[in-house]
Structure 1
Amino acid sequence: MKFRPDKDQITWSITGIITALVVMLIYYVIFKGNHILSGIHSVINGMEGIVTGLVLGYILSPIMNFIEQKILEKIWEKAGAKRDEYGEFRQKQLIRNIAIVITMAIVIFVIWSFLYYIIPQIYQSIREIIRNIPMYYRNVDLAINRFMESSDPVTISTVNSIADQIYIRINNFIQETVLPNISQIITIVSMQALNVINSLINLIVGFIVAVYVLNSKEGFCGKGKKMAYAFFREDIANELISSSRLIHTTFTGFITGKIVDSAIIGILCYIGCLILKIPYPLLIAVIVGVTNIIPFFGPYIGEAIGTLILVLINPWSALEFLIFVVILQQIDGNILGPKILGNSTGLSSFWVIFAIMFFGSLWGFVGWILGVPVFAVIYALISRLTNHYLCKHNLPTDEDTYIDTAYIEDGSFHYLGDPSSTKYRSQKAASSWSRIFRSKHKEEHKKAHIDKASDNDQAKKDE
């Protein structure tokens, strides 16, 4: 007689197998997670060219769309070309190819200009700063000596003590860290040189991949939607596609806006440094523009680095630069930033700081830049999910309604401060001092009540 398991036995068996696999997976992630991370890191390194191409294509997509839709299609319309019933030109692929060529030409021209004009000037500025370090050291030493001559003995002793401590720490660092590890430092520098070559190769691969991404971006979107409707219910697929649009809008709005905003700030900083005759204007402007990409903290980082460089060269120029950058930051924060970025993230200042610190600790410099849009997407998705379930329970979705809410019972709101709201610890607890004085007041009130009752009893007896 053959054993034939029934439906329940098969279900429980499959459930047990899946549970065991999940437990094993959790165990492996907890205790062997470093192997998973190293494997993921290896895959990412191997796919760096593809990832670079995808990111580059995504960033360049708005530029190509502008060239294609706002320039080339207008030219085709003026030339008398007609659109079909779907609103497309018969020469759609030709227009797309021309747009891609123009976009890539613009990118190559920008990179070439940066390498040919800007990098040499920055390199020359850094060389001059390094060459003039002895002079800067003498200037600082002279300023300190002048300060010491006009100071009292206690201040002189304190400054000498601090200077001795700094000298001892620098000397210990050189003797204990730098010199014993000089061979490792040379190895690290050599590895970085190889990494630069590898990055150039990945950049070339990335450009090729970006061309394919720009040419077939509608096809990728169509395949994604097709898979969503194939594997999920219609409402779930619609939510997934809607969430994808939210992610796309948030990232493109923030990243492109931040790049444009930082470029404008860098150009304005360069012009201002030229007018004020601040040393090394291009180097200072590049520092301010690049650090401005980092939300919230970026302007302060650029301001601190630029001021530190100029203090060694000319303290008066450093003061002028500091005042100028503060004014520039006010223009950016109150005029340029809101005009270009708008409210692309929808996050308050607290959540912006939280996102920068959290994702910066995970991903480093990349986390400082991408942490805000990533957290904005997570925040928006959680808000949408929360509002979905609130509507499902026939509850309001505006946040102000819940600020003074004590509890909800049978669909009715009970608010803090309402004497009828007596459940779920909704009454405000008294402070320790108020409890002390209230207890004393209660004792006095109780004693007065007892004395009054005794007087009434005595009066009845007398009657």
Structure 2
Amino acid sequence: MGMNTQQQLRYWGIAAVVFLLFMWVMGQAILPFLLGAAIAYFLDPVADWMERHGISRLAATALITAGVVLLFAAILFFAIPLVAGQIRDLASEVPDYISTLQTFLSQRFPGFLEEGSIIRRGLVSMQDTIKNGGVAVAEGILNSSLVLIDIVIILVVAPVVSFYMLLDWDRMTARVDDLIPREHLETVRDLAGKVDKVLSGFVRGQLSVCAVLGIFYAVALALVGLKFGVFVGLFAGLVSFIPFVGSITGGILSIGLAVVQFWNDPIWIAAVAIIFVVGQFFEGNVLTPNMVGGSIGLHPVWLMFALSAFGSLFGFPGLLVAVPTAAVLGVLLRFAIDEYKKGRLYQGTVQRPDAAE
């Protein structure tokens, strides 16, 4: 390995450490800027399409920004109050659900609730805890979370950042391209193109899958009459960003609620289970193949590890950079493996029969 390569690895390593330290020190302060940059990145193809159809970059950016602001406003004023209300109602009714569960267990499995049994003590303790502070805790989470992430600042700063970054996106990428060492220009461009393909293909596609699944689950669960079905359905769609997790988590939560609510009418419990079976089938055979594709290179386990690691280290800002970082590392790892297979360490000094041919 030449000195030039060693120096470049050292510089890139230093840059990675500086980036991680910057994320750790700045924390929530950079959240609006990360959101703005993410919005600009994902909407740049829309702006490019509008430019190709005769609309100026400034006008295209203004129209796109206005549309995003209106969408966020609609979510803020309509969806959030609905979900928040369901969370509060769920917290207030959990003690009743536990009582119903105790009745069900005592009738069907009386041995489980004998005096002094672990299950009985656990249910009573859970019920007392929720009665004493469950609603207050739920309301505190809903209220304090908005304060902690400074939602007002985000709603003001993020659209402004996205507007200016979307307006100057092509100039910024050209400036970065101009700073790439000329010796490795084509390699870096090729890697950047692969990262963009993986990242845009996965995130844009997976967000579309999440939206479709969330709407499907929320509407279907509401139609069968499941209490808090809207909240559970939207939650299941949201966490579907991690493949399989949304359906499994939402299914367990929904079926648990259905057992308590419909324990005398098993047909509705089966209906709730069927909803998630249909959703899982639809996701695996229609949505994901058509919206995400099978060649993006982000394995679900690798994605879950990235989200867990960056979320633990940097909080919510870490979740925003987890997927891009996972995409970059995945592309770089595949590139390193390809280079390794071309080298002497892998091929050795003896020429292989297929190479001679």
Q: Does the alignment pair 1:330 with 2:281?
A: yes
User: Which runs of 5 or more structure 1 residues have no equivalent in the other structure?
Assistant: 1-17, 27-32, 77-93, 397-407, 415-463
Aligned-partner Cα distance in 2 for 1:370–1:251: 11
Corresponding residue of 2:25? 42
Change (3 A) 1:296 1:269: closer
Change (3 A) 1:240 1:54: same
Corresponding residue of 2:119? 163
Change (3 A) 1:188 1:318: closer
Change (3 A) 1:269 1:384: same
Corresponding residue of 1:382? 333
* Root-mean-square deviation (Å): 4.0
2:80 alignment partner, one of 110, 119, 123: 119
Q: Does the alignment pair 1:225 with 2:177?
A: yes
User: Which runs of 5 or more structure 2 residues have no equivalent in the other structure?
Assistant: 1-6
Per the normalisation by structure 1, the TM-score is 0.60
Instruction: Determine which structure has greater relative contact order: mean sequence separation of CA pairs < 8 Å that are 6+ residues apart, divided by chain length.
Output: 2
3-state SS of 1:100 partner: helix
- The Cα offsets for residues 306-349 of structure 1, whole Å up to 9 and x where unpaired, read as 333333333444432122111211111111101110124225xx
Number of residues of Structure 1 aligned to a counterpart in Structure 2: 331
When structure 1 is superposed on structure 2, of 284-293 and 308-317 the one drifting more is 308-317
- The Cα offsets for residues 140-163 of structure 1, whole Å up to 9 and x where unpaired, read as 232123124xx5xxx357685123
Q: Does the alignment pair 1:59 with 2:7?
A: no
Corresponding residue of 1:136? 97
1:247 alignment partner, one of 167, 183, 195: 195
Aligned-partner Cα distance in 2 for 1:385–1:393: 14
Aligned-partner Cα distance in 2 for 1:189–1:280: 16
Amino acid aligned to 2:34: V
Displacement of 1:205:
1.4
3-state SS of 1:345 partner: coil
Contact in 1 for aligned 2:105/2:112 (Cα 8 Å): no
3-state SS of 2:117 partner: helix
Aligned-partner Cα distance in 2 for 1:48–1:123: 23
Aligned-partner Cα distance in 2 for 1:143–1:211: 56
Contact in 1 for aligned 2:34/2:320 (Cα 8 Å): no
Give the fraction of aligned pairs with identical amino acids, expressed as a percent: 19
Change (3 A) 1:413 1:173: farther
Larger radius of gyration: 1
Corresponding residue of 1:264? 212
Per the normalisation by structure 2, the TM-score is 0.76
How does 1:8-157 map onto structure 2 within 5 Å? 40-69=23-52, 73=53, 76=54, 95-148=56-109, 155=111
Corresponding residue of 1:288? 236
Contact in 2 for aligned 1:254/1:341 (Cα 8 Å): yes
Amino acid aligned to 2:117: S
Contact in 1 for aligned 2:98/2:123 (Cα 8 Å): no
Aligned-partner Cα distance in 2 for 1:275–1:172: 32
Q: Does the alignment pair 1:216 with 2:168?
A: yes
Displacement of 1:257:
0.6
- The Cα offsets for residues 159-186 of structure 1, whole Å up to 9 and x where unpaired, read as 8512344268659989xxx9xxx9xx99
Aligned-partner Cα distance in 1 for 2:87–2:41: 34
Displacement of 1:292:
0.9
Displacement of 1:290:
0.7
Displacement of 1:193:
5.5
Aligned-partner Cα distance in 2 for 1:188–1:324: 30
Contact in 2 for aligned 1:352/1:372 (Cα 8 Å): no
Displacement of 1:259:
0.5
Change (3 A) 1:308 1:63: farther
